[in-house]
Chain A
Amino acid sequence: MSNPGHPPRLPVFSPLDDIMNPSTGNEVPGQSKPPGPAPNGPFVPGMFQPGSVPMRPPAPGNPPGQWAGAPPRPPGVNGFGNTSMQPPQQMQHMNAGPPRPQAPPPMFNVNSPGQQPPMRPAGQMPPPPQTSQTASSFMNGPSNANMNTRMARPPVPTISAPSGGPPSASQGGSFNNTQGQPPSFQTYGSQQNPGLPHDGVPQSRPNELPVPFHGQGQYSHQVNPFMQKTPTQTPGNSAPPSQKSSRGPSPVPGSTMDALEGQFTPSRGAPSPAFPGARGSPVPGQVPAGNFPPPNQGQYPGPRPPLPGAPGQVPPQRFPPGQAQHFPPQPGLPPGPAHPPAPSQQVQPQQPPYGFGPLPPQAPAGPNAGPPPPPSSTAAPPSGPAGFPPVSSSPMGGFQPRPPSNNSSFAPPPPMSSNAPGSFPHPPGPAAPGQRYPPPPSNAAPSRYPPPPGANTVPGFPPAPTPATSQPMAQPGAMQPPSQYGGAPPGSYGSQPYGQPHQGMYANNVNAMTQNFGQMGVQDSQRAVNLLNERQLMPPDGVETAKPILPHDFKKVNCSPDIFRCTLNAIPQTSALLSKARLPLGILIHPFRDLSQLPVIQSSVIVRCRSCRTYINPFVVFVDQRRWKCNLCFRVNDLPDEFSFDPVSKTYGDPQRRPEVKSATIEFIAPSEYMLRPPQPAVYLFLLDVSFNAVETGYLSQFCQILLDELDKLPGDARTTVGFVCYDRALYYFNLAEGLSQPQMLCVPDLEEPFLPCPDNLLVNLHESKELITELLNQLPTIFEGNLETGSALGAALLSAHKMMSSTGGRVTVMQTCLPTVGPGALQNRDSGNTSGKNVTNIGPATDFYKKLSLDCSAQQIAVDLFMLNGQYADIATLSCISKYSAGCIYHFPSFHTVKNPSQVDKFENDLRRYLTRKIGFESVMRIRCTRGLSIHTFHGNFFVRSTDLLSLPNINPDAGFGMQMSIEDNLNESPTVSFQAALLYTSSKGERRIRVHTLCVPVTNQIGEVFATADQQAVAALLAKMAVDRSLNSAISDARDAMINAPVDTLSAYAQQVPASQRVGALLAPHSLRLLPMYMLAMLKSIAFSLSSSTKTDDRVFAMQQCKVQPLCYLMQSLYPHLYPLHRISSETPLKRGKEEIPATPQLQLSSANIDRTGLFLMDTGDAMYLLVGSGVGDQMCQDVFEKPNFMSIPDGMIDLPELENPTSEMIRCFVNFLIDSRPNGITFLVIRDDSKHRHLFFQHMLEDRTENSMSYYEFLQFLQGKAKG
């Protein structure tokens, strides 16, 4: 409730508006000063005349006419023609109109796509069948495949019935009948039945369809035909494991934005009466099938014919069975609840939902409630599955779930899966796309994680190294006492991997470490290490990952350390103890990491604590069968009936079988109360620098080519919208209205008051205008070829981007190659040459223009991502503000040039491909909750902090990491553990509103020894790096360096006091868990970000600092302390395992030249670059095997690839290198360096333990620390 103060800022669409005057929305075009030519002040006739439309730098090849003349339009009209046409369309759709009250042109953009049909000549309209159709069509669209099945089933009316009690039974019956589909879908009323109508129309994109969420309360468990309850996993959105390229589609289209994640939205109304009965479908309102816009229409604006209101005729409460079947989605929908997915139109319906509020009450309340309908609900989820790629392959098309075969709705019913009746059936296949529950993958193999630590361990400290490690999957389950899980078949749940990327993602390294850790002897972890004596600190297979050791009774799986880590794995009970240990307390989180397996739940009720709004998680305590005690605020809450109801046995079972209670990482499909407006479509706008400098680098053609290749893979649904703006000293817009024969370029030289030359069609539906977009991308490089204009009006371009997208939000991608020098936001070159000496300046912003604009963007749910391709100083310190506060990301390709710098080209291509196709979440917020007594002190990362625990993230991407420093405000003696919960609410690219929840549980201790023994040195170093960046910006780099030196000094001195004096003499002692801390600090001191070297460019330094703030832990650590591998020692004796593959491996070395010999090959992996050093004494055979050269001297300098040779050595090396490359999301530059090369320094600058002219060696540094500690 605290939210009241924060109204989400959704400017544009407020449902209310729509409701208030629906008509206005539609009329927009006509009314609000339509962009008629005349009205627009700015439009100077001269400028836009069609003919004249200046193709500034005239493309040599193109006759001007092409661009300029959008053929049909009357000259005056230019862009506007469209608008005029629109009204009619809208009229048709009536209500459907986008709610925007004002018709400011920009707003339309979004809509326009949907509307477009009208624009075209009638004859031309290629009407995808669905397009024009009403809501029903939407619903259907996706589901077509399923249609049959659904048709068959009787709609399940029962659910809707308020009394509900019976439903379960009935459901069961009905379901079974229905070809195995999950009954639940139907139950929820017509809305849900998506697919009815259009049988015929096969949808082109199966995946998209599944509109799971809307409105249906679904339980994740669905009833299968077999009556098993299957928890399904939905792989769907959750990202498929992303390989380098994330795949994109998240299955479900979704929903809304909201601002406060999870908070109660003030309930505006009581739960809508309409749904009283439906406990099961609590959220009926959510979007009915309607959400899915038919492919074509998809746009926001799209007219949704089926306005809820209209259909409203149907009494909300019950749907006549018949209707339900038919799908008239509209009718079926209760006006209130149904959220039309469609953005604006459905406004009315939406409201009711709001009323719902998260109140649990709705659900089951009925006494009868017996089986909450939800279970039945399985169905809805389809969308989930759809997302998964796999699904598509399945015959069913997008809707796998529905196919009779899966009983559990989505879960592919693995026949074999353990069917213990009581338990939730596992999804059979590990990866089965359809499943929503965390599928216990049948094969344990994938999961590498060690079983939950708690399992074996004694409550006390040292956990027995978990034997299970190697076979995590199987064991955990086995170990658990059956009783805990109730009827669950042993192993079934326990064994689930919680969404970890086992599958060989880039997580591999970490996983490997984890294993090691498990195997490590306990003694080891409590041992004191004398750093001065022990030189070999790095285990050969990488640094181990520290994990919290939970008490025995938490036989639960904690959150993966890849996602969530705490610097201290035993939290000091009091702040005094913390300050005594001199270690920073904080958490590092990578919330949107690509996961290969993630349980997705679509439940009627999301169980949360009533006072602190914490989501139920594995670490809560069940007081009895009906109550649970929140582990964050300790309030005792009632458990909704549905939560413990087991649809299979029709009994109330043990709530601990629920996936929410079995997995620390889980995703919910959010009901309507989590939406403040209809979910936005995916909107992508590209701002391309086309000044002389930019054209000269040649990036434009490469960019266009890559975008062309990936156009179909942009994450999104039928509503996906794209737009392009180019800029040099002027802005060039491109009218891509469907129906034009050529893209139409509109030049606006007026920078002071940027205006949009035409109200819409600058952002167009990707699918409707695909040909124009393709053509534009093909022509862009030639249009601006030879452009001599050197100015760059980035500020004006960003302002207009803000205008174009303010109605919907979305992502702006900026390609910038030089300092912006004209228009608003122009910057001076303040780089005075080298940043030398102790005074490093210019690392802060020069102006707050970009920061303010960024905040404006953030308020409109727009994120700006920056690609800096500059060769010369471009003031990244200032420009980065545009991304920093809008939760964007920044890429830097120094001295990018397609010809002169080929190694950057590969990296650019890889990064851009990954960027374009990776998963994305829109209009998101992340809230971090922690156990009472802890509070968040500072946040690190890219975002805007909206309140003490809430981050506003207009976009979230899988590569963004965050850090939070915590402080202990009260003694933590209420509980033996503390928990942190991060809840990320976002709209998937499919328009589905989702909540991803991660919970980390850490024990509390009052022993300082334990604090040291369990500290996580990597997390500590990463957090210190983030703090050091803040210190540098607020004060000076030299202060930050002092702090970096003081940190290990303080910590080690504090530790030494815990050790008997006899051991202390002449030694520099460190706990085993922190033995690498001094090394990491030294690495930071020598890193680009913090070194005082005079040769570091300001931009490089600022970018490195920025990376410290946003990189997820494992990448950050790798860039600070690169990995070094002796490739000549590669062998398959101790392979890394990735899935079933075994990758030959080599031990990892410390970064000391002592480890380098001249007869070897050494690979340095810094995260974004790999250098292969060829020793001068390398054998000729090796040269021949690896490089296909007879000897060392003939190896060319500057090779950027390894030849593919067929001999064991080459194969092993390439296999290993490729494995390393694939295990990260970003691209890399690869360079072969000969020992006598002039590029040798690229390699040796990373030998961090060596002494250099102005920096200490590691040993010297230790001695220095020792001196400071004494002094």
Chain B
Amino acid sequence: MAFTFAAFCYILALILTAVLIFFVIFHIIAFDELKTDYKNPIDQCNSLNPLVIPEYAIHIFFTFLFLLAFQLGTVLFNMPLIIYHIRRYMNRPVMSGMGLYDPTSIMNADELGRAQKEGWVKLGFYLISFFYYLYSMIYVLVSS
């Protein structure tokens, strides 16, 4: 049992995934508030937009670490989400600041529905990742 770089990556990913889970929960709550009228879309977009890039960056960061650690299986596991993130960001509405959400279009039911669905799917993904990393970490620690 040795503490390898891979093990370190898994531990770090475990922590960061927990952070991402919080992000995504915040995201879900925010859209739910929008849907139920509790928040003004401008305020809500202002609070959500700054979180988009950090979330993507964190995810890409630990995936990159896995690549360095040569955990290809894990990298493959994360690739679809990274690709989705990049595409999503490329197709964002015209805006000068960072972020994805435009207060003028976010209230469209399609947009809201999509954002909410995205939130739930990502929550599921991160939860699965979390346990996967936990398992992998132990596996790496034990096996090496």
Contact = CB atoms under 8 A, between A and B. Distances in A.
| Chains A and B bind each other | yes
Interface of A: 2-6, 9, 844-849, 851-852, 855, 859, 884-885, 935-939, 944-950, 967
Interface string B72-111: 0000000000000000000001111000001110011110
Interface stretch (B1-9, B38-46, B114-122): B38-46
A845 B40 CA distance: 24
A1221 B109 CA distance: 39
Nearest to A967: B109
A948 B37 contact: yes
B107 to A, nearest CB: 4
A5 B37 CA distance: 7
A859 B42 CA distance: 10
B59 interface: no
A665 B110 CA distance: 31
A846 B94 contact: yes
Contact of A946 (B33, B41, B102, B110): B41
Closest 3 CB pairs of A and B: A5-B38, A945-B107, A937-B109
Nearest to A938: B108
Contacts of B95: 848
20 contacts: A2-B37, A2-B38, A3-B37, A5-B38, A6-B40, A846-B94, A847-B94, A848-B96, A855-B42, A855-B103, A855-B104, A859-B42, A937-B109, A938-B110, A944-B104, A945-B104, A946-B41, A948-B34, A948-B37, A967-B109
Nearest to A6: B40
Given A944-B104, A967-B109, A844 B94 contact: yes
B39 A5 contact: yes
Nearest to B35: A948
Contacts of B108: 937-939, 945
A945 B110 contact: no
Contacts, number: 67
A851 B41 contact: no
A1106 to B, nearest CB: 14
A849 B95 CA distance: 8
Contacts of A938: 108-110
A852 B37 contact: no
B36 interface: yes
B48 to A, nearest CB: 15
B96 A847 contact: yes
Contact of B94 (A4, A845, A859, A950): A845
A967 B112 CA distance: 14
B40 A946 contact: yes
B110 A937 contact: yes
Given A5-B38, A6-B39, 14 more contacts: A2-B36, A2-B38, A6-B40, A848-B96, A848-B102, A851-B94, A851-B104, A855-B103, A885-B104, A939-B107, A939-B108, A944-B103, A947-B37, A967-B109
B50 to A, nearest CB: 16
A880 B38 CA distance: 29
B96 A6 contact: no
A586 to B, nearest CB: 12
B102 to A, nearest CB: 8
Contacts of A885: 104
A11 to B, nearest CB: 13
Given A938-B109, A967-B109, A945 B37 contact: no
Contacts of B109: 935-938, 967
B91 to A, nearest CB: 9
A944 B105 CA distance: 9
B37 to A, nearest CB: 4
A223 to B, nearest CB: 42
B90 to A, nearest CB: 14
B39 A948 contact: no
Given A847-B96, A935-B109, A948-B107, A4 B41 contact: no
B103 to A, nearest CB: 7
A3 B40 CA distance: 10
Interface of B: 33-42, 93-96, 102-104, 107-110
A885 B107 CA distance: 13
Contacts of A949: 37
Contacts of B110: 937-938
A642 B93 CA distance: 52
Contacts of A967: 109
A1177 to B, nearest CB: 54
A1190 to B, nearest CB: 60
Nearest to B108: A938
A885 B42 CA distance: 12
A537 B37 CA distance: 46
A848 B39 CA distance: 22
Nearest to B106: A945
Nearest to A856: B42
Contacts of B104: 851, 855, 884-885, 944-945
A702 B19 CA distance: 63
A4 B38 contact: yes
A1 to B, nearest CB: 10
A5 B40 contact: yes
Given A938-B109, A967-B109, A6 B94 contact: no
A902 to B, nearest CB: 38
Contacts of A851: 94, 102, 104
Contacts of A846: 94
A926 to B, nearest CB: 14
Contacts of B38: 2, 4-5
Nearest to B36: A2
Nearest to B45: A855
A563 to B, nearest CB: 24
Contacts of A944: 103-104
A845 B95 CA distance: 10
Contacts of A2: 36-38
Nearest to A4: B38
A947 B107 contact: yes
A938 B93 CA distance: 17
A847 B96 CA distance: 7
A613 to B, nearest CB: 12
B81 to A, nearest CB: 23
Contacts of B36: 2, 948
A936 B109 CA distance: 8
Nearest to A952: B40
Contacts of A935: 109
Contacts of A848: 93-96, 102
B64 to A, nearest CB: 31
B40 A852 contact: no
Contacts of A852: 96
B79 to A, nearest CB: 26
Nearest to A936: B109
Contacts of B42: 855, 859
Contacts of B103: 855, 944
Contacts of A947: 34, 37, 40-41, 107
Which of B34, B36, B38, B94: most chain A Cβ within 10 A?
B94
Contacts of A6: 37, 39-40
A2 B37 CA distance: 6
Contacts of B40: 5-6, 9, 946-947
Contacts of B107: 939, 945-948
A451 B136 CA distance: 75
A946 to B, nearest CB: 6
Contacts of B102: 848, 851
A845 B33 CA distance: 29
B31 to A, nearest CB: 12
A935 B39 CA distance: 18
Contacts of A3: 37
A5 B43 CA distance: 10
A1029 to B, nearest CB: 13
Contacts of B33: 5
A844 B92 CA distance: 13
B32 to A, nearest CB: 12
Nearest to A944: B104
A6 B44 CA distance: 11
A945 B107 CA distance: 7
